[in-house]
Structure 1
């Protein structure tokens, strides 16, 4: 049985505007006719630009907002009618809004959550020891939350969201503010939680590396409509988004000429060449190395923003 079910869900808001002495109202649909299911243990990347309806969807899934139309079931219940019951079965990290107590040391926030969720003390201690180790929180337990950096606080929020063994976790930009090493550690941690505990994860992020490292499935929404549901390679293939070869030459040269790629930008000895996503970079690198004074190069995958932008440009709402 799916752990999350949405059937033709819409959420509308009334927006008021004033022109002179006249006030007008109009309806804006943040989510419009959304339907999908999520199976237990799936890791779903839920992506789209700001204003696409991601946060509205998550708020309906947690029971914070009630759908204007359609039905939602999470872990077998209607979220808006069973918020307290559902709260024990889900974990949530809402981006920049912390669930920790601002003036308390981090360990005290964890202790309060143990009481709130009525987690058996032995299980709470086991989970806390595991998460403190995996998220490198040991030196932060006695620090008030207000003194933590954004990255440190985010790690604390993620631990807090998982301490009560939720079946489903909603994560909004979980790697924001983290350095490269911390991002890698957090992704490894979330992957391990999913594998070892079968936790279902709904991940909203603009970081393509998060999606690639964690998600088995990607859903893209645009103005409240679902425009893609499948794998990340399938998303790339559907839009044929080009990759970029960044080439550093020993000296400034005219634009590189190789079969299968096109120079789109030059800056001194550095040149940027785009080539189709379905093409291997190896033959291009071989041609360049054989004919130009190559010193270094990197291959850049298309950004999530460019893929989504191209996807949106082909949808009827944007034509």
Structure 2
């Protein structure tokens, strides 16, 4: 597969001054991004996450040409972002949370029309892309509404459309679902899933909403203190940090305190011993059920998959 984004030992340093006395200040260099090596291939949807201050947005700003790297190399669509920023702008789309590329006082449809001229997009191509976005993001109900009167969810759907109307090869999304209601999140996720299925646009997604990552991204890169601490699938992340499935059993009689379950451990006993949560360690749910069937009076049983929030929290804590 063709590499669309490639970084090597990428770093970004900032100078910070802090007071050391009434009249003195001391200079300190802080590395926001500290040697990131990353390759993203054509058509990939990459989840790029980390805690606040980890360096996610700084990395994206270097990839889009907003910030100059302090060291290392970065290439996007075969271009070096800062010196070739104007050319690169025609090949990428960007949605940065609170930054808008829409005209505040104009109807949404007129913002789309102006962007066609800004990017010099042929009318037929623009119309075809807008038609697709209108269908997938359900834009028709507010196309004639001034941007300032749109809800946050409506505006975000407009921002996604605006970022794609010129047919970019790469789409950078920084917190696209932050603050959105459930329906708006579903619309955005469904749209990104459709975009990923087509395979003609590479997407780099940063978010604190880990449900976005689980639903959309096959590959996950975790950055902390400016360095990559995980690069792989969500399943590989669970395996690396020994995430455990859990079985919740409801009983007709209280749980026997002396019951031993090889390969599993009891995490929680509730409702006077009638509901028990068991973590699977070196056994399967089927094997556990076989052991329980002859030992307790089972009423119901459910299996809970490990939550990505838990493993990410443990990863950050471990760092």
Task: Give the structure-1-normalised TM-score.
Answer: 0.86
Look up the match of 1:111: 113
CA displacement, residues 38-60 of structure 1 (integer Å, 9 cap, x when unaligned): 11111111111111110000000
The DSSP-based 3-state class of the residue aligned with 2:3 is coil
The DSSP-based 3-state class of the residue aligned with 1:3 is strand
- CA 1:87/1:272 → structure 2, altered by over 3 Å: closer, same or farther? farther
- CA 1:295/1:126 → structure 2, altered by over 3 Å: closer, same or farther? same
- Give me the whole-angstrom Cα distance separating, in 1, the residues matched to 2:174 and 2:103: 19
**2:225 is aligned with 1:239:** no
Residues 49-198 of structure 1 mapped to structure 2, 5 A cutoff: 49-198=51-200
- The count of aligned residue pairs is 314
* Structure (1 or 2) with the larger CA radius of gyration: 2
How far off its partner does 1:216 sit?
A: 2.2
Q: Is there any run of 5+ residues in structure 2 with no aligned partner, and where?
A: none
Deviates more, 1:242-251 or 1:206-215: 242-251
The DSSP-based 3-state class of the residue aligned with 2:52 is coil
Look up the match of 2:7: 6
Look up the match of 1:311: 315
1:244·1:302 contact (CA, 8 Å) conserved in 2? no
CA displacement, residues 174-210 of structure 1 (integer Å, 9 cap, x when unaligned): 2333444443343232122233251111111223332
- Give me the whole-angstrom Cα distance separating, in 2, the residues matched to 1:92 and 1:256: 58
- CA 1:63/1:247 → structure 2, altered by over 3 Å: closer, same or farther? farther
1:242·1:302 contact (CA, 8 Å) conserved in 2? no
**2:28 is aligned with 1:26:** yes
The DSSP-based 3-state class of the residue aligned with 1:192 is helix
- Give me the whole-angstrom Cα distance separating, in 2, the residues matched to 1:148 and 1:279: 52
Deviates more, 1:106-115 or 1:159-168: 106-115
1:34·1:225 contact (CA, 8 Å) conserved in 2? yes
Task: Give the structure-2-normalised TM-score.
Answer: 0.86
Q: Is there any run of 5+ residues in structure 1 with no aligned partner, and where?
A: none
CA displacement, residues 135-182 of structure 1 (integer Å, 9 cap, x when unaligned): 011101112222222222111111111111100001122233344444
